[in-house]
Amino acid sequence: MLRAALDEAGYPDVAVMAYSAKYASAFYGPFRDAAGSAPQFGDRKTYQMDPASSVRQAMAETRLDVEEGADYIIVKPALSYMDIMSKTRAQFEQPIVAYNVSGEYAMVKAAAQNGWIDEKKIVMEIMTGFVRAGADMILTYHAIDVARWLKEDAR
């Protein structure tokens, strides 16, 4: 087990974050374009779950990661898979990490720039949804804006 191997090697304080529920999603597009990381051949479906896969598969993958010593469970992308996050929260004790990816961020930014939405209200609603679905942590490109808004609202 990974946890035991880290402990035995003298790294008891190293946390393991597992991409337990990582889907082969079109929401990764903006990051892949910016990083030039599109697959040179084939696709990532050999190691990422099909977006249409069952909750049962996500729970099985998560269970395997937990058995191997995962300290945190990542659900990625977060917005389209809040149902998976909720089911994961119900079945596992490990902290859940909502990974709000580049495509989710880009949609909000584009809509806000076009004046179609209130960016702050939408972003805060999304963050609240992640927490309500079971997230203990949120990884998001909106982090700086959220921190600023929370600080302004606290005044």
Question: Nearest to residue 18, comparing CAs of 76, 57, 103?
Answer: 76
Catalytic residue among 45, 76, 120, 151: 76
22 catalytic? Reply is: yes
Q: How far is CA 96 from CA 23, 84, 152, in A?
A: 16, 11, 27
End-to-end CA distance of the chain: give it in Å, rounded.
48
Beta strand 96-100 with 72-76 is: parallel
Catalytic residue among 22, 87, 109, 151: 22
Give the integer Cα–Cα distance in Å for 126 and 36. Answer: 28
45 catalytic? Reply is: no
Active site residues: 22, 76
